[in-house]
Every structure is written in C-alpha cells, then in structure tokens.
C-alpha cells in the first residue's frame, strides 16, 4: 500500500531539513537500509534510510528544498503500478494549508437541541489487523502526517452569547504517535512540551506513567517594533542565505544570551608541567594534544565538583550523573559540538582518539545525532587561532562553558627571580541560577590542579 515518506526529525532542535540529494530515482526498487536521500539538518548532513522493501513511486521535494520535519518528501509503495492519485491530492492539500491537514468542514445541523450530558466516547471498530484505528477528538487521523488536523473545541463559555474559543491543533512526532498507539493513549490528551507545543515520545511515556508534564509558560506578547532596523543590501553587496545550522545557532545562542543571567571568571594556569607531560607522551608514541589534556582535566574536575555539571529547570536544578563534554568545532557554515562521553573516567589516550574521530566526522558533516547532542559541559578552545583570552556564550541547557585561550611563554616571577614560563588564560561563563561565584572558583581550582599536576590524569 502506498504511503508518504516524511522528512525525519533528526535532532530535538530540528524544525526544517534541506534535501541535498536523492540517492534513488522514481521507479527504483528499495530494500531495507537503502539510502533514499541525503538531508541537511540543523547540525549536519545525514543519509536517510528506508526500513522496508518497496518502490519509490514519487519524489515530492526537489534537491535544495527546505521541508518542515514531518512533512512528506516522497511516496513509497509496494509496486510501480499503484494508484497514488489520492496521496497526491492529499499532498496538495497539505501544501496549501501550510504543512498541516485542513480541518474538515462542519456538517449542517438542525435546530439546537436541549442541553444534555455529553455521550460516552464510542470505541472505533477494530481493523483487519485487530488494532483500533488511530484517532483524535472523534476524527480519524492519517498517522503519516506530522501536523494534526484542526478541530473546533466546544468548551464552556462565560455566557450563552460568548464566542467559541479559537480552533487548536495537536502537533506530534512520528515516534510520539507510534508510542501512543502502543500505549493505547489518545494523543490529543497528551500535553506537548516540544517546539511550538509538539507532542514528543517522552511526553507520551510521561503521560502513560502518570507523571505531570512541565509545560512552558504562555508565550509573551509580541515584541515592540525593532529600535534598530534590519540591514538592507546595497548594490554590490553579497547576500548569503542562512543555512539550517546558522539559523539554529542564532536562535539558540540568542535565547541563551537573553535568558541566562551569566557572569565570567578568568584565571591563568601554569602550564610548564603540562608541556613537559605532553612531550614525554609524544616521545613514547602517544598522540595527545593540549586540548585533549584540558578535556581530561575538566572531566575530572566535574567529577570532583559535580554541582557544576548541572542544568536549570525552572523548579529545580538537574545535576547530571554522566560527565559528557562537548568540544566546539568550527565549520565553514558555523560550528558544532561533538560530545566526549564519560570524560571523567576515560583514559587520556581514549579521549584523544575520540576527539580526532569526532572532529573528522564533524568537518565531513557525518556526525550522527547521538554524537552531537546531550553534552553537560562545553569547552571552546581558540588558542590555536592566536587568541589569548575570550568569553563564550553558554550552550543551553548547560550551566557553564569554558573558553580556553592560547598557551604562550611569558616572563614570570618565581621565588623573587625573573624567568620564563608557559601560561594559559581561561574564562568560565556561568549561569548564575545554577553556579555561584564561589562554586565556579572551586571548579576552576579543580581544573588547575589537574593542569598543573598532569600526572594525576594518568
């Protein structure tokens, strides 16, 4: 049976994907794990696979098109001669309604009847598979469409003449709909906490377990007109369209800069012992960079001062059990933060191996979502670019980010005598809701201990 193939939501922050290339043509036969297309998400380029055998009947999105997550990009079927006219008509309705299935027209009704208690919901008849069809608010829902139909909800009004409330709609991810079917839950009863109120799989499982959802506050009123107008291109200017990655960076960092009350702590480390330590490792054939040593030092320091390995959650502070450090990697279109898992327990040579592998994947655009999401602390190192000191913006929802400057030989005074020593400045950006000044200083003292006594990392 022919069905839509949707743009997948490859990461929690992805709202739109760009079709980079189709790897199959219309009419091609598909086998499980065949690569159907290459898609650019908000983080990286990734290959999209199919999970069942079939045929690519119709391509609905051209290369270069930006498509919202959950909107159809192709039609797959079991044979080349399947009739897909209904699906094509449905796709046109989806496009004309801005990506969601239009609401059904209300049927004419007779004169209002006397008020009566609402009838008990009637269960839908089982299908030939024995499963109850997926529905919401009494309407059958096509579970291949991300955006749910719009229905007018009759709620009690303040007076008989009051106007009905505006129609609402339920947005949900494919994983959420599958979980709802498995749990036999009407997805319309689940409170969504995803982007724009989207119901996620976690929301469904939370609902099934009876755990209340933490719902974000109502959106603030529309902002006042900009005091500073946006720039307009002049003759000769080059206009470079924003990529998905650049747009996501702008949204997340603007939110972090606006929402988190931050302060900065700067200190200088003595690095003579670290230079000697790395020289010995190199002589023994172990390839370790100074950045690897900083990551290892921060991992141990987060284990020693776990209060920094945390995040703000409005009604609580979540102290993370795992120490997963993100390292900022510069890309032509922005940056990405691959994650070193278990950095507090991992050996230094294992950290070095991970950083090389992840940095290569990042620059090739081949990172999987699990490799760049879920960090609990981030390090941004610009020392190799000749930057002595800088401040960094927190990577939400983390509480801190460490900005690492370049290491250089400078004049120092030791025991009253002038000499030369290796020094490196770092600046810790702290979310004051989670980390106070004394706690941030304790963390930097722990990092200092491992940098200035690197044998402790062995």
Q: Find, among 454, 442, 416, the residue nearest to 267 by Cα.
A: 442
Exactly one of 432, 433, 448, 449 is catalytic; name it: 432
Residue 276: how many other CB atoms lie within 10 Å: 12
Q: Give the span between the Cα atoms of 80 and 75, in whole angstroms.
A: 11
Contact 177, 205 (CB under 8 A): no
Radius of gyration for the chain, computed over Cα atoms and rounded to the nearest angstrom:
27
Which residues, in sequence order, are bridge partners of residue 169?
150
Residue 432 a catalytic site member:
yes
- Which residues have a Cβ under 8 Å from the Cβ of 87 and sit 6 or more positions away? 2, 3, 4, 58, 75
State how far the Cα of 278 lies from the Cα of 274, in Å rounded to an integer.
6
Task: Give φ, ψ of 252 to 5 degrees.
Answer: -70, -45
How remote is the C-alpha of 383 from its chain's centroid? 28
Burial bucket for residue 133 (CB in 10 Å: 0-12, 13-18, 19+)? middle
In this structure, are strands 400-414 and 377-381 parallel, antiparallel, or unpaired?
Answer: parallel
The residues annotated as belonging to the active site are 432
């Amino acid at each position: 049976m022919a069905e839509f193939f949707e743009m997948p939501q490859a990461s929690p922050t992805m709202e739109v994907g760009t079709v980079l290339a189709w790897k199959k043509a219309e009419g091609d036969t598909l086998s499980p794990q065949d690569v159907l297309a290459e898609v650019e998400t908000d983080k990286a380029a990734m290959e999209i696979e199919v999970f069942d055998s079939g045929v690519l009947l119709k391509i609905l999105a051209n290369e270069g098109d930006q498509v919202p997550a959950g909107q159809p990009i192709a039609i797959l079927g079991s044979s080349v001669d399947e009739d897909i006219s209904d699906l094509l008509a449905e796709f046109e309705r989806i496009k004309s309604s801005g990506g969601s299935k239009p609401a059904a027209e209300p049927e004419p009704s007779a004169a209002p009847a006397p008020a009566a208690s609402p009838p008990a919901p009637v269960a839908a008849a089982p299908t030939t598979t024995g499963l109850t069809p997926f529905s919401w608010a009494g309407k059958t829902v096509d579970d291949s469409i991300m955006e749910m139909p719009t229905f007018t909800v009759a709620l009690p009004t303040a007076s008989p003449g009051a106007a009905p409330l505006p129609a609402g709609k339920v947005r949900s991810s494919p994983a959420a709909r599958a979980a709802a079917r498995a749990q036999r839950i009407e997805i319309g009863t689940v409170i969504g906490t995803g982007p724009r109120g989207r119901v996620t799989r976690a929301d469904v499982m939370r609902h099934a377990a009876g755990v209340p959802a933490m719902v974000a506050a109502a959106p603030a009123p529309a902002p006042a007109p900009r005091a500073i107008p946006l720039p307009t291109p002049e003759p000769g200017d080059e206009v470079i369209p924003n990529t998905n990655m650049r747009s996501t960076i702008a949204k997340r960092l603007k939110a972090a800069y606006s929402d988190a009350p931050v302060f900065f702590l700067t200190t200088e480390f003595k690095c003579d012992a670290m230079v000697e330590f790395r020289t010995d490792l190199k002589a023994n054939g172990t390839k370790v960079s100074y950045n690897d040593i900083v990551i290892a030092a921060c991992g141990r320091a987060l284990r020693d001062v776990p209060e920094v390995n945390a995040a703000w959650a409005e009604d609580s502070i979540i102290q993370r059990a795992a120490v997963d450090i993100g390292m900022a990697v510069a890309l032509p279109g922005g940056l990405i933060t691959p994650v070193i898992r278990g950095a507090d327990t991992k050996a230094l040579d294992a950290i070095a191996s991970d950083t090389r592998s992840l940095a290569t994947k990042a620059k090739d655009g081949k990172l999987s979502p699990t490799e760049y999401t879920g960090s609990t602390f981030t390090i941004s190192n610009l020392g190799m670019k000749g930057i002595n000191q800088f401040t960094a913006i927190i990577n939400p929802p983390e509480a801190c980010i460490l900005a690492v400057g370049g290491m250089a030989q400078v004049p120092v005074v030791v025991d009253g005598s002038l000499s030369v020593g290796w020094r490196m400045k770092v600046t810790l950006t702290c979310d004051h809701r989670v980390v106070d000044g004394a706690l941030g200083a304790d963390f930097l003292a722990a990092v200092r201990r491992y940098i200035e006594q690197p044998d402790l990392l062995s």
